[in-house]
Amino acid sequence: MKSNADGTFSDGAIIPFGTFQINPNSSVLNYGQGLFEGMKAYRREDGGVQIFRPEQNALRMQMGADRLLMPSPSVHQYVDAVKQVIRANIRWVPPYGKGSLYVRPLLFGSGSVLGISPAPQCTFLIYTNPLSNFYQGTSTSLSLLVDEKLPRAFPGGTGGIKNISNYSPVFQVVKEAKAKGFSDVLFLDAVEHKYVEEVSSCNAFIVKDNVILTPPATGTILPGVTRNSIIQLARDLGYQAEECKFSVDELLEADEVFCTGTAVGISAVGRATYKEKRVDFKTGEDTLTQKLYDLITGIQKGVVEDTKGWVVNI
Ligand code: PMP
C-alpha cells in the first residue's frame, strides 16, 4: 500500500514475492526513514491458524511513524493486511508444533527527497517466511556478553521504536561477541554505562527471590509485545513483576535471567560475562522462566486457553 497526499493509505494488493523498484533518491535508502515489525502465525492442533496481539504491533508502528514523520496505516488496515498476507501464504504455515510463519511488515519513505527531509510518500508492505523451531524452549540457554563499549540507543534517539537503522550499528559488536562464543550482547545504558537495557533483538528480565524485573521502556529500549505480555501473565500468576531500572551488578546477582521477543520467544540466559567475570544462572525445568515460557507459548500455539483475548484467528 502507498500513502496518499492526505496521509491515509489506500488498499493494497497481494503480489508474488520478488524484487520491486524503488527510487534511488527515496528517504529510506538515503536517510533510513523506515520501520519494521515482526510477528508469527502459528498453526493450532485443529489445523486453524492464529496470530498474537497484532494490534500491539500496529500501535508500535504508528508510534514509530510519528517519530520519523511518516503517515501510518490505521490499526484496522494493518491487522487486515497482515491477515490477508497470511491467508495468501497459508500453505507455508508449518504444521502444529513444527514452527511458525514469520510475518515482516515494513513502512518506509519511498518518495523522492532532495535535501535531508521526510519523504512525501510512504510504502507499507508485508512479506512472510516460514521458520522452524530454532529455540527448543528453555532446554538450551543463551550466553550473553555484557558490553558497555557501544550502547544500543541514546536518550532522545530512536531506541524506543523499530527503526531499521537501529540494527546495523550493532552488527559489529554482536559479530565480535559471536566469534568469542557468546550468543548475543546485552547492552547497557549510554549515560552511566551500568544500567541494563536490552539484547540486540530482545528484551531482558531478571528474577531474584521470585520478583521479576525488566528495565523501564523510557525511550532507549523497544517496548516488546512479548515483554508486556510476560509482565501481565506473571502478575496473573501472583508474582511481583516490575518495570524498574537495575544495574549490571544486580543482574549478576540474579537467580534467573531470560530474554523475550517474537523471534526468540522466551529464552533462558545460562551465563553472563562482564569484564571477564562469568556468572551462571539457574535454567531448566524447575524455573520461573520455564513456567512463563510454557504459559505464553501455550497461548500463542493455541494449547492454553486465551483468557485475555490476545489471539486473533486468521
Ligand atoms: N528489543 C529489540 C531491539 C527488538 O528488535 C525486539 C524484537 N521486536 C524486541 C526487543 C522484542 O519485541 P517483541 O516482543 O515485540 O518482538
ipTM, two decimals: 0.99
Q: Please give the distance, rounded to the nearest whole angstrom, from the Cα atom of residue 5 to the centre of ligand 1.
A: 31
Question: Is the Cβ–Cβ distance between 212 and 239 less than 8 Å?
Answer: yes
The closest of 305, 174, 189 to 246, measured between CA atoms, is 189
* Catalytic positions, written as ranges: 162
Give all domains of the chain, ordered by start, each with its CATH number.
Answer: 27-131 (3.30.470.10), 142-301 (3.20.10.10)
Q: Which atom of ligand 1 is nearest to the CA of 228?
A: 14
Q: Is 12 exposed, middle or buried (0-12, 13-18, 19+ CB in 10 A)?
A: middle
Give residue 14's pLDDT.
96
Residue nearest to atom 9 of ligand 1 (CA): 202
Testing ligand 1's pocket by substitution, the residue of 201, 225, 232, 264 carrying the most ligand atoms inside 8 A of its CB is 201
Q: Is 238 exposed, middle or buried (0-12, 13-18, 19+ CB in 10 A)?
A: exposed
Please name the amino acid found at residue 244.
Answer: C
Q: Please give the distance, rounded to the nearest whole angstrom, from the Cα atom of residue 114 to the centre of ligand 1.
A: 33
Question: Is the Cβ–Cβ distance between 1 and 123 less than 8 Å?
Answer: yes
Question: Is the Cβ–Cβ distance between 56 and 228 less than 8 Å?
Answer: yes
Give residue 151's pLDDT.
85
Please state, in angstroms and rounded to a whole number, the distance separating the CA atoms of residues 99 and 135.
Answer: 10
Please state, in angstroms and rounded to a whole number, the distance separating the CA atoms of residues 214 and 237.
Answer: 17
Testing ligand 1's pocket by substitution, the residue of 36, 51, 222, 258 carrying the most ligand atoms inside 8 A of its CB is 222
Give residue 58's pLDDT.
98
Q: Tell me which residue has cell 521526510.
A: 118
How far CA 144 is from CA of 213, 217, 273, in Å, comes to 18, 21, 6
Q: Tell me which residue has cell 509485545.
A: 225
Pocket residues for ligand 1 (CB within 6 Å)?
38, 198, 201-203, 222, 224-227, 260-262
* Residue 209 region by backbone torsions, left for phi larger than 0, else alpha for psi between -120 and 50, else beta: left
Q: Which atom of ligand 1 is nearest to the CA of 57?
A: 15
Give residue 140's pLDDT.
72
Residue 236 CA from chain centroid, whole number: 23
Give residue 138's pLDDT.
55
| pLDDT tens-digit profile, the chain (314 residues) | 999 999 999 989 999 999 999 999 999 999 999 999 999 999 999 999 999 999 999 999 999 999 999 999 999 999 999 999 999 999 999 999 999 999 999 999 999 998 999 999 999 999 999 887 655 555 578 999 998 877 899 999 999 999 999 999 999 999 999 999 999 999 999 999 999 999 999 999 999 999 999 999 999 999 999 999 999 999 999 999 999 999 999 999 999 999 999 988 899 999 999 998 999 999 999 999 999 999 999 999 999 999 999 999 99
How far CA 235 is from CA of 127, 132, 146, 214, 282, in Å, comes to 35, 30, 28, 13, 21
Q: Please give the distance, rounded to the nearest whole angstrom, from the Cα atom of residue 132 to the centre of ligand 1.
A: 19
Q: Please give the distance, rounded to the nearest whole angstrom, from the Cα atom of residue 192 to the centre of ligand 1.
A: 23
